[in-house]
Amino acid sequence: MSVVSVETRDNLAIITIDNPPVNALSQAVRAGIVSALDEAEGAGAEAVVLHCAGRTFVAGADIREFGKSLKPPWLPEVIARIEACDGPVVAALHGTTLGGGLELALGCHYRIAVPTARVGFPEVNLGLIPGAGGTQRLPRLVGAERALDVMISGKPANAAEAARAGIVDRLAESGNLLDEAMNFARELVAGGEPPRLIRDLSVEPVDPDFFSEYRKRIAPKTRGLMSPERIVRCVEASLHVPIDQALKEEREHFFECMASPQSSALRHLFFAERQAVKPPPGVSASAEVPEMRRIAVIGAGTMGAGIAYSCLGAGFEVTVLDNDEAGLARGQKTIEGLYKGGVARGKVSREKAADGLGRLTTSQDYAAVGGVDLVIEAVFESMAIKQEVFARLDRVCGPDTILATNTSTLDVDRIAAATDRPGKVIGTHFFSPAHIMRLVEIVRGAETEDSVIVAGLPLAKRLRKVGVVVGNCFGFVGNRMLYGYGRESQLLLLEGAAPEQIDGALQDWGMAMGPHAVGDLAGLDVGYSVRRERTDLPDDPRFYRVADVLVEAGRLGRKTGKGMYLYESGSRAPIPDPEVAAWIASEAEALGVEQRAIGEREIVERCIYALIVEGARILEEGIASRSGDIDVVWVNGYGFPRYRGGPMHYADTIGVDKVYAKVCEFRNRFGPMYWEVPELLEDLARRGGKFADLKPAG
């Protein structure tokens, strides 16, 4: 069946794009639009309505075609063909009109949209710029500043905003978009309205220093990214250069961005995040997903309150349970505070806040959670306490209730063993702050039923998070890898790199924060107590030695005003502390570690390659099914730069053989204790393979 069809009704031609799931502009669609226009004009149509079947108007270019040679007609040619039509072409928008879809719509002479429609240019999220005239047509409609805001933020606007800004000419309020679009087209014909081309408009002038100020304004948010600057240059050109030349420049920038490692990394993540939310191999996708309406959260601490707030935001009825009356009251206050903050920042409406709080109940009595569909336990990270909680939950909850443990390191099978329903027990590792961080590791125990795993994925999506199914081992995917990364950042201290040098090197490389600043933020005592519970630590006195010394001296991080760094009261800025430098030097001496000058490159390679090595082991063991899952975990949970695609994609980008050679070098230099080469890494390197090409483990 053709993805584009045309029918004529009286003097109108209706062109329908039907290319599920999101009507992306594949080559067939582009070619189809051109021939449909030829056919419409051949049939004597006086006006054309362009609309889409299915859930949305065109949501963009077909991303799957990127990175390959693009076959004609290109989108700018399709748009030029629309602009050249003798009669008006009306775009009828519903769903999400994004990227190339919005460029297509802006190429049409008029636009009508349903009130629920959203429009935007999200190209920046893929390391791209709008490449089919968006950077030229949008400023002509809404001015340079607004156009920049739309393209640099990548955030879509709703139909009402778009109508106010002039992006949309009319809102279709009747519920029948196509009928209203046809009426609009008939009116235009009857009124003798000629085709109206946005390209013929000119851009409102701006102050002479507007662009330099704008660049300064966006610098903190666009650190390390290539495409925002290209967008700014294109919009500058829209003011100063004839449109055809500016379109040519836009196209050059677009192709340069598309060929960049950044765009390839961001496109990889786009698909990896969508892949991650599908049941992993070996889990039956047809398993019946239980319906969820009521959720109980056990533990009203910061984590529990954050999880409860997320669940309320997703429309669930939520009961928060805590043994401690004062703790429960604090938890309730935290949730109310989150709503208050949301309202103050304009993120949540007053009605939504009232509705959310209306669905919240609190209790100290386990009987109150008897009838819920899902329990998320978020009590203190201790096996004994969690086992006790699960044994109680098992007694009070109905047989179908799913019991989830929010643990960051503990063995989910041992927790499940405290119940008579291990098949209904799963791990849900949320990240702190739980209402902000997008990642949830969904930990499958040895006996977790498929239906329970499959239930976790849509739940994460409903909570507006990315759920990744992982296997059960110490630290799962994220924290297990963090150990290697943190280990190297600690060893580097003993070997002579200062905390601020290590943090600076990794931040310059793209990490959201350096590991030592993160340690201070999380609290150095957190990792300390986890290490005390572990029985499998390496026999190495250097292992996390500096962190241990700091904790034992009462320097727990930001919360005590001192950790790896100093903090002035009320400030979050880490200040290097000469006292810490002296302690590190004396520890190094006591341990016989020779201090030396260490370069930034060694810092980055040791920390990042440690991640890749552990990631390779995780894949070997099947703890993650796909290398992309590991990337999704590290980008969404640990501040790994999105534009580098995640640790495993980064390894693929620089070449697995090069990573292998470096890891061998580290093994020879530092010994095999930490740098034993995983077989998978060696195997891929020898055959010139990539992590991305591995068959998913099931």
Positions marked active-site = 103, 123
- Please report whether residue 133 would count as binding ligand 3H9 according to CB under 6 A: no
- Please report whether residue 132 would count as binding ligand 3H9 according to CB under 6 A: yes
d(CA 256, CA 324): 59
Angle, helix 600-620 to helix 499-509, in steps of 10 degrees = 70
- Please report whether residue 546 would count as binding ligand 3H9 according to CB under 6 A: no
- Please report whether residue 122 would count as binding ligand 3H9 according to CB under 6 A: yes
Binding ligand 3H9 by CB under 6 A: which of 126, 172, 265, 663?
126
- Cβ at position 96, least distance to ligand 3H9 in Å: 4
169 phi-psi bin (left φ>0, alpha ψ -120 to 50, beta other)? alpha
d(CA 687, CA 423): 40
- Cβ at position 479, least distance to ligand 3H9 in Å: 27
Query: Residue 512: which of 635, 402, 361 has the closest Cα?
Result: 635
Q: Which amino acid is residue 680, in one-letter code?
A: L
d(CA 587, CA 524): 18
- Cβ at position 409, least distance to ligand 3H9 in Å: 31
- Please report whether residue 274 would count as binding ligand 3H9 according to CB under 6 A: yes
- Cβ at position 274, least distance to ligand 3H9 in Å: 4
Mark the segment that binds ligand 3H9 (CB under 6 A) among 61-69, 472-480, 598-606, 666-674: 61-69
Q: Which is nearer to ligand 3H9, 88 or 120 (CB)?
A: 120
- Please report whether residue 314 would count as binding ligand 3H9 according to CB under 6 A: no
Mark the segment that binds ligand 3H9 (CB under 6 A) among 77-85, 128-136, 357-365, 640-648: 128-136
Q: Which is nearer to ligand 3H9, 106 or 550 (CB)?
A: 106
- Please report whether residue 17 would count as binding ligand 3H9 according to CB under 6 A: no
Q: Which is nearer to ligand 3H9, 96 or 489 (CB)?
A: 96
Q: What is the CA radius of gyration of the chain?
A: 28
- Write each residue from 496 to 535 as x if it is in contact with ligand 3H9 (CB under 6 A), else as -, in one continuous string: ----------------------------------------
- Total of chain residues touching ligand 3H9, rule CB under 6 A: 24
- Cβ at position 618, least distance to ligand 3H9 in Å: 23
- Please report whether residue 71 would count as binding ligand 3H9 according to CB under 6 A: no
Mark the segment that binds ligand 3H9 (CB under 6 A) among 131-139, 236-244, 502-510, 663-671: 131-139
- Write each residue from 77 to 116 as x if it is in contact with ligand 3H9 (CB under 6 A), else as -, in one continuous string: -------------------x-xxx--x-------------
Indicate the burial class of 323 (C-beta count within 10 angstroms; 0-12, 13-18, 19 or more).
middle
Q: What is the DSSP letter of 435?
A: T
Phi, psi of 570 (to 5 degrees): 80, 0
- Write each residue from 336 to 375 as x if it is in contact with ligand 3H9 (CB under 6 A), else as -, in one continuous string: ----------------------------------------
Q: Which residues contact 286 (CB under 8 A, 6 or more apart)?
A: none
d(CA 149, CA 129): 13
- Cβ at position 75, least distance to ligand 3H9 in Å: 4
Binding ligand 3H9 by CB under 6 A: which of 59, 182, 235, 374?
59
Paired tokens of 644:
């580098």
Binding ligand 3H9 by CB under 6 A: which of 3, 37, 50, 61?
61
Paired tokens of 561:
């005003």
Binding ligand 3H9 by CB under 6 A: which of 9, 64, 221, 333?
64
The secondary structure of 511-570 as a DSSP string is -SS-HHHHHHHH-HHHHHHHHHH-S---S-TTTTHHHHHHHHTT--BGGGTBSSSB--TT
Q: Which amino acid is residue 491, in one-letter code?
A: L
- Please report whether residue 612 would count as binding ligand 3H9 according to CB under 6 A: no
Paired tokens of 462:
């409903």
- Please report whether residue 62 would count as binding ligand 3H9 according to CB under 6 A: yes
- Please report whether residue 454 would count as binding ligand 3H9 according to CB under 6 A: no
Q: Which amino acid is residue 282, in one-letter code?
A: G
Q: What is the DSSP letter of 61?
A: B
554 phi-psi bin (left φ>0, alpha ψ -120 to 50, beta other)? left
d(CA 271, CA 370): 39
The secondary structure of the chain in percent helix, strand, coil, rounded to multiples of 5, reads 55, 10, 35
Q: Which is nearer to ligand 3H9, 21 or 192 (CB)?
A: 21
User: Tokens 């056919």 map to which residue?
Assistant: 39
Q: Contact 381/409 with Cβ under 8 angstroms?
A: yes
Contacts with ligand 3H9 by CB under 6 A lie at 21-22, 24, 59-64, 75, 96, 98-100, 103, 122-123, 126, 128, 130-132, 134, 274
